[in-house]
Amino acid sequence: MTAKSNTDEPRTSDPNGSAASASVVQSSLAALRIRYRIRFAKTGLLRWIGHQDLVRLWERMARRADLKLSMTEGFTPKPRFVFPSAMALGMEGLNEVIEIELANSITPAELMDRLVSDNQPGMSIVSVKRLPEGFGKAQLARTDYRISSPCFSSSNPSSRSHSNLDGSNEQPTNSPVDWNQIGESIQRLLASESVSIQRKKKTVNLQVAQQIHELRIDVEDNESERNSIVLSLIATNAASLRPDDVLELLGLDDWIDRGATITRTNVHLDNEFETDDLDEIAIHTQSPPASMRLTQSMQSHQASPTPVRGA
């Protein structure tokens, strides 16, 4: 009988050794997830892209900026992008929010420089903040809007820079706006306890005080055609009012067809990140786009005879 050599013995793995090796491999493969909160403006022709196209645009911008994105797991990895609020098609946004995660840590100033250098038409980077570990994701609190009157929109060259949805270039004929009547409509709406709107062929009742933070007319001295409606809507977990709902409730549902424009001027978050550390924030100092300058100019006129809900 021949003796069995040691090499013929079946090999057994060391459970502790395998676990340690797997831990080392997993640790080496684990990527950093550094989160940045970016404020940006989407103006001009870029307002005609939908939300999914905006997501793809940010992906292309990130690739051109040579950013090392943190990706989701699974068979179809995607960049970790978070938008607290999608924007309706055709609407400009002056202070929108996106959160992105990178697999490496770079300064907000460097990230700002890379994004600004992309020179994407219609896209302006406003600020970049690097969020500390464990800081909560962006939670929407409310959104602010400015609705221009059809008279001003038709006299504004930027509002005539696109064709109508039916492909024609014919501009609608506008009659003078009765701002006194609109002011009365605003008073009646704010005095109402509830309103009814249509959602997916169903009637939904909403409490006005829980939906509208602010609604008023912004008066432009001696130029009534430049007056606008200022609106601030509270974010809720259920059905919420939209700017077009408010226009309909005010009897102004034809305004958009007549050339009025809706601009989202600000997105307020429940968890804004504030810091005195200048290494964790970068702010772009370049002049804002023309539409943003226009809104800022209009915001300087705050006198209004109409009621305001909220501060």
CA–CA dist 131, 280 (Å, integer): 8
pLDDT band at residue 225 using 50, 70 and 90 as cut-offs: confident
Q: Which domains does the chain have, with CATH numbers?
A: 34-130 (3.30.70.580), 140-162+174-271+286-299 (3.30.70)
Nearest of 185, 146, 224, 221 to residue 306 by alpha carbon? 185
pLDDT band at residue 288 using 50, 70 and 90 as cut-offs: low
CA geometry: angle 295, 297, 303, nearest 5 deg? 100
Amino acid code (one letter) for 269? L
CA geometry: angle 190, 184, 202, nearest 5 deg? 50
Q: What is the DSSP secondary-structure string of 108-175? A: HHHHHHHHHHT--TTEEEEEEEEPPTTPPPP-EEEEEEEEE-HHHHHH-GGGGSS--TTS--PPPP-P
Place of tokens 């038409």: 121
CA–CA dist 193, 190 (Å, integer): 8
User: In angstroms, what CA-CA distances link 199 with 87, 193, 203, 305?
Assistant: 17, 19, 6, 33
43 CB neighbour count, 10 Å cutoff: 22
**For 9-68, what is each residue's pLDDT tens digit?**
444 445 555 554 444 444 444 568 999 999 999 999 999 999 999 999 999 999 999 999
Q: Are 235 and 206 in contact (CB under 8 A)?
A: no
CA–CA dist 185, 191 (Å, integer): 10
DSSP 81: E
CA–CA dist 99, 269 (Å, integer): 12
DSSP 228: E
204-211: average pLDDT: 96
Residue 2 above 70 pLDDT? no
For the chain, the distance separating the N- and C-terminal CA atoms, rounded to the nearest angstrom, is: 97
Residue 158 above 60 pLDDT? no
Residue 176 is predicted with a pLDDT of 83
Residue 214 above 90 pLDDT? yes
Residue 157 above 50 pLDDT? no
Residue 160 above 80 pLDDT? no
CA–CA dist 253, 54 (Å, integer): 27
283-306: average pLDDT: 51
Question: Mean pLDDT lowest for which of 21-25, 89-93, 179-183, 201-205?
Answer: 21-25
Question: Mean pLDDT lowest for which of 122-136, 143-157, 189-203, 230-244?
Answer: 143-157
Residue 311 is predicted with a pLDDT of 36
